Structure 1
Amino acid sequence: MDNNPKVTIHDIAQRLGITASTVSRALNDNPRISEATRKAVHRAARQMNYQPNNIAAALRHGRSRLIGIIVPTADRAFFASVVRGIEEMANQLGYKVIICQSYDSYEKEVQTIDALLSARVDGVIASIGKNTETFDHYQRVQRAGVPLVLFDRTTDALEVSQVMVDDHLGAYKVVEHLIRQGCRRIAHFTSPKKVSIFKERLRGYADALKDNGLPYDEELVVSSNLQLEDGRESMQRLLGLEHRPDAVFSSSDYGAMGAMQVLKEHGIKIPQEVALAGFSNEPFTSFTDPALTTVDQFSLTMGKRTAEVFFEQLKAGNKNPVPQKIVLKPELIVRASSLRTGPLAGEAGHL
């Protein structure tokens, strides 16, 4: 037996001596209800621990005013900042967000989509996990007529709006900078997964080498999950080569941090012997010793642009707007980890 029966608007109405319809309008801040009544209803709802049934409301009104956001992980500064940008705009427009983590698991992503559709969310905003290679679950979102927008980790396999940074340009800028510092054997940490951002960063790396007359050497390209421990293992592998690299460009700041730890443990000078650069501008990159060169993806801006695209699509309703592809320009942040002694040391800063 349930000892804590769910409080309804009828219970609030009985307590205040008003009708249930008046309570409903007051909870929805209907301007036809006096301010005094609205305050009294909201106060009683809090005291009685009233929890609205959002699914029932969505069925009645066709809108839940809830947006599902799927990120690989919420504990990375990049994703947290993007979510903040989305949430700020959503809240201004009277929407709430449900933040879900896929942990880069395809199965978890599928389960999350099922849960969000069951919760009658008004839309889904997602960054695809590393292990997602088929997109049937996202196609179900589209078939249900629910707006879908992808950010950062996107795919051209779906005809949906996308917001991303120019990963190719960001990687190209990093490698070009390292070459200008005199580096000639530049290694690259990438991911074996079929994720757009890593493919584009690898392409930018390769193009920069080619355009500057340097060969692409397979043994200098190391694939991993790009976490800190992966960066350590990748750097150990590179140090075992007959001719070790004189620079490392990692597709993640965490991988670069792992490489930095190993280089220090071996007494290898950074950047004089091996220059280092990462990607994402995680907060810790400005506090490492030496501070880490990286690429700023303007995560807060990405979140706001994603929200703008989403609400434009939501407003269009059944008009089937043409999918948009928003590409933000990244910024290279040059720090001590890649600046060698000499006149070029003055290159530090934002490029």
Structure 2
Amino acid sequence: MANKKKTTIKDIANVLGITPSAVSKALNNHPRISEKTKADVIQVAENLNYQPNHLASALRKGKSNLVGVIIPRANSHFFSSIIEKMEDVLNKEGYNVIISQSNESYKKECRSIDALLYTQVDGIIASMANETIKLNYYEKIKSQNIPLILFDRGENDLNVDYIGIDDYKSSQIVIEHLVQQGCKRIAHIGGFSHTRIYKNRIRGYRDSLKKFDLPIEDDLITESNLRIEDGRRIMKQLLELPNRPDAVYAASDYAALGALQTMQSMNINVPNEIALVGFSNESFTSLVTPSISSIEQHSSKIGELTAKTFLKRINNPNEKVSLNKMILDAELIVRDSSKRK
């Protein structure tokens, strides 16, 4: 079956007996086109199922009113909450958001950047994939003078706007809480340390153990993609150690959930035998039993500040606007998984 030919401005013009230029002006609400002609053009456009070519329009105007957003995964309450607030702010200013998820893949992230650049987006907002080490594709965005704002995960080397929380201090808060609960052998299920936020979380973890004169052992520190299956696998390894930990601090609630599932399958009492703390305050942390203690990352605030930072950049294209690096204070939500009797 032959593909149906896409309706063009010329097709609408032929039906109405006017010029394609007049149709284009009518669709763009030009003041010199009569209200009757505008109404006729809109009606014929609907009848012919006309879809405007946004790419061509963006090339003509030099503005698409589209913002590309790249996130590691869409099934996270943290990222979905950020996008919800981001869209709310940007939509009110006439911008639409194109969302792409990398699934923690560097290659997929690069393809997303290429696609967004081809679509002529006015800016790109991103949180990097776990696999991302090379920054060449982000440098590519900068080289085209397109605003780039990073949130949650971003590298200082790029020298762009960044909004996130104090990851180093977050780890200190977690370790201090676990020490107060009587924990002495605290394991860390971390993200990959080549990513700045996870490096800072590991650094905060190590420095806090030193502060409380607790052992820092390589067997108790692991790096992973922080998925549920990673939490299950790593927790199993920790339980096979000759001297197993009495607490686990996971740099992701998903890894914490996996760790909890492994402990429950082995009838380990959480928190009295092994206490557990996660990160991000995902919605499920308050619903499982025991509920999981977690770091609140203020996702809605990050979404709002990130969107406002983009608007500040796009509305002042010819002005030197100082870099906006906003680090928010973290908060530990203490629940049953780490609260010992």
Give the secondary-structure state (helix, strand or coil) at the position aligned to 1:157.
helix
Q: Cα 1:33–1:171, aligned 2, differ >3 Å: closer, same or farther?
A: farther
Distance 1:36 1:305 in 2: 43
Q: 1:166-245 alignment to 2 at 5 Å?
A: 166-245=166-245
Match of 1:61 in 2: 61
Distance 2:202 2:22 in 1: 60
Q: 1:245-264 alignment to 2 at 5 Å?
A: 245-264=245-264
Distance 2:295 2:39 in 1: 49
Distance 2:166 2:31 in 1: 46
Deviation (angstroms), 1:39: 5.3
| Farther-moved stretch of structure 1 (14-23 vs 295-304) | 14-23
Would the aligned equivalents of 1:69 and 1:100 in 2 still touch at CA under 8 Å? yes
Distance 2:3 2:129 in 1: 42
Distance 1:328 1:34 in 2: 52
Match of 2:123 in 1: 123
Q: Deviations over 1:278-321 (max 9, x none)?
A: 00111111111000000111112111110111111111214342
Q: 1:249-328 alignment to 2 at 5 Å?
A: 249-328=249-328
Q: Cα 1:10–1:228, aligned 2, differ >3 Å: closer, same or farther?
A: same
Deviation (angstroms), 1:264: 1.1
Letter in 1 for 2:217: D
Match of 1:142 in 2: 142
Would the aligned equivalents of 2:130 and 2:192 in 1 still touch at CA under 8 Å? no
Q: Cα 1:197–1:10, aligned 2, differ >3 Å: closer, same or farther?
A: same
Would the aligned equivalents of 1:235 and 1:262 in 2 still touch at CA under 8 Å? yes
Give the secondary-structure state (helix, strand or coil) at the position aligned to 2:78.
helix
Distance 1:221 1:208 in 2: 14
Give the secondary-structure state (helix, strand or coil) at the position aligned to 1:238.
helix
Q: Deviations over 1:116-139 (max 9, x none)?
A: 112111111111111111111111
| Farther-moved stretch of structure 1 (79-88 vs 314-323) | 314-323
Letter in 1 for 2:132: T
Q: Cα 1:301–1:39, aligned 2, differ >3 Å: closer, same or farther?
A: farther
Distance 1:39 1:209 in 2: 71
Would the aligned equivalents of 1:181 and 1:338 in 2 still touch at CA under 8 Å? yes
Distance 1:35 1:203 in 2: 65
Would the aligned equivalents of 1:130 and 1:193 in 2 still touch at CA under 8 Å? no
Q: Deviations over 1:53-107 (max 9, x none)?
A: 1121112111111111111122222111112222112211111111112222222
Letter in 2 for 1:207: D
Q: Give the number of aligned pairs.
A: 341
Letter in 2 for 1:278: G
Distance 1:256 1:3 in 2: 50
Distance 1:251 1:239 in 2: 18
Q: 1:103-122 alignment to 2 at 5 Å?
A: 103-122=103-122
| Farther-moved stretch of structure 1 (24-33 vs 242-251) | 24-33
Deviation (angstroms), 1:44: 3.7
Deviation (angstroms), 1:35: 6.4
| Unmatched runs of 5 consecutive residues or more in structure 1 | 342-351
Match of 1:163 in 2: 163
Q: Cα 1:36–1:251, aligned 2, differ >3 Å: closer, same or farther?
A: farther
Distance 2:260 2:92 in 1: 42
| Farther-moved stretch of structure 1 (59-68 vs 9-18) | 9-18
Deviation (angstroms), 1:12: 2.8
Q: Deviations over 1:250-274 (max 9, x none)?
A: 0011111111111111111111111
Deviation (angstroms), 1:204: 1.7
| Unmatched runs of 5 consecutive residues or more in structure 2 | none
TM-score by length of 1: 0.91
Distance 1:333 1:39 in 2: 56
Letter in 1 for 2:83: V
Distance 1:318 1:131 in 2: 35
Letter in 2 for 1:119: T
Distance 1:330 1:33 in 2: 55
TM-score by length of 2: 0.93
Deviation (angstroms), 1:326: 1.0
Give the secondary-structure state (helix, strand or coil) at the position aligned to 1:277.
strand
Deviation (angstroms), 1:206: 1.6
Q: Deviations over 1:227-259 (max 9, x none)?
A: 111111111111111221111110011111111
Q: Cα 1:55–1:254, aligned 2, differ >3 Å: closer, same or farther?
A: same
Would the aligned equivalents of 1:131 and 1:193 in 2 still touch at CA under 8 Å? no
Deviation (angstroms), 1:2: 5.8
